[in-house]
């Protein structure tokens, strides 16, 4: 039997459905010692902003049961440096790249989108709208339908060409389906589910929040059930909207859960910290599992857990 592992993520054709998660694969360079970057479906870059950013003060992380908190605060050298250095290097490796962009204002998203035209190796844009909106009391863009829509519209209007746009949503909302619907209307070709959950750890020695910024984003296997639920709900309500699923994936079994729930492709984030080769492990285990379960293609398995149960 032939088996097709090819993925189509909102129009981006990828040899397999395994992507890195934004902010969890550095610039790519750091991982390239552990596997050739073109072995995975695509590299998702850390979220790029208009200007250089120092990020937040340390401590920036805390380990939690089956997870971790982080508050990096989008440290990065800004879009100019990124386009000059990271993009050409990734293209040289033959890597397919999803550029993650993040803004503090709607205008930032517009500016960044214009810079994303005609980049070598870039197969799509992940729009991280799970970050604070400085024009709206720091409220996270994707926690409000209006600001979520505004950010995506700004990208859609400015991107030009037919580069797929994936809107990355925060799970910290009452109704994630309504946000997904909103960004789809605004022109997103797909959604990335989920970003981290807002959490806090208190250091019982200092008796203060462990992270300098008090709260941070919770990731890792701990949040997997929340992520699978989000993917299942959105796929159920919007079956034609492509989903990039993530949140606690560290094995092929975990990835399979997301595919069955309705994801067209998946990202591996925190697992890479524990295992630099996690992306490859997940890829190999997922393809074995799909073949074992009798699927002749990845496509056939997407959303399979939604089928009618007829016993």
Ligand X SMILES: Cc1cc2nc3c(=O)[nH]c(=O)nc-3n(C[C@H](O)[C@H](O)[C@H](O)COP(=O)(O)O)c2cc1C
The site for ligand X (CB under 6 A) is made up of: 21-24, 46-47, 70, 72, 74, 100, 128, 168, 195-196, 217, 219-220, 223, 246-249, 268-271
- Residue closer to other proteins by CB (options 56, 157) is 56
Helix (H) or strand (E) holding 257: helix 252-261
Cα R_g (the chain), whole angstroms: 18
Residue 217 CB, nearest distance to other proteins (Å)? Answer: 12
145 near other proteins (CB under 8 A):
no
Q: Which residues of 267-287 are buried (b: 16+ CB within 10 A; e: fewer)?
A: bbbbbbeeeeebbbbbbebbb
Q: Give the orientation angle of helix 176-185 with respect to helix 224-237, to 10 degrees.
A: 50
25 near other proteins (CB under 8 A):
yes
What are the structure tokens assigned to 196, written together? Answer: 């981290």
CA 23 to chain centre: 9
- Residue closer to other proteins by CB (options 25, 173) is 25
Say how far apart CA 304 and CA 100 lie, in whole Å: 29
Catalytic residue, candidates 131, 151, 152, 179: 131
Among 61, 91, 111, 198, binds its own copies (CB under 8 A): 198
Among 12, 72, 129, 151, binds other proteins (CB under 8 A): 72
* Active-site annotation holds for 131: yes
User: Nearest-CA neighbor of 152 among 137, 132, 135, 168?
Assistant: 168
Binding mask 39-78 for its own copies (x = CB under 8 A): -----------------------x-xxxx-x---------
């Amino acid at each position: 039997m032939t088996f097709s592992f090819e993925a189509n993520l909102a129009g981006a054709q990828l040899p397999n459905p395994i992507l890195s998660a934004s902010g969890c694969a550095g610039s790519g360079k750091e991982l390239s010692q552990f596997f050739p970057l073109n072995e995975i479906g695509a590299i998702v870059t850390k979220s790029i902003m208009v200007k250089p950013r120092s990020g937040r003060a340390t401590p920036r992380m805390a380990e939690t049961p089956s997870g971790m908190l982080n508050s990096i605060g989008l440290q990065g050298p800004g879009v100019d440096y990124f386009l000059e250095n990271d993009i050409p290097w990734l293209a040289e490796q033959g890597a397919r790249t999803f550029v993650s962009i993040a803004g503090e204002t709607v205008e930032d998203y517009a500016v960044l989108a214009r810079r994303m035209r005609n980049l070598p190796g870039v197969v799509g844009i992940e729009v991280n709208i799970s970050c604070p909106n400085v024009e709206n009391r720091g409220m996270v863009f994707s926690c409000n339908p209006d600001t979520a829509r505004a950010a995506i519209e700004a990208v859609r209007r400015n991107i030009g060409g037919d580069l797929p746009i994936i809107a990355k949503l925060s799970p910290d909302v009452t109704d994630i389906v309504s946000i997904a619907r909103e960004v789809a209307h605004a022109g997103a070709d797909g959604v990335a589910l989920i970003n981290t959950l807002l959490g806090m750890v208190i250091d019982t020695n200092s008796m203060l929040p462990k992270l300098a910024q008090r709260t941070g984003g919770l990731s890792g296997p701990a949040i997997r059930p929340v992520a699978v639920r989000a993917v299942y709900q959105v796929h159920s309500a919007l079956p034609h909207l492509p989903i990039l699923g993530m949140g606690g994936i560290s094995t092929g079994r975990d990835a399979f859960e997301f595919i069955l729930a309705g994801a067209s492709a998946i990202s591996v984030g925190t697992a890479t910290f524990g295992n630099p080769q996690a992306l490859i492990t997940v890829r190999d285990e997922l393809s074995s599992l799909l073949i074992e379960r009798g699927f002749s293609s990845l496509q056939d398995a997407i959303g399979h857990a939604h089928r009618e149960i007829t016993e």
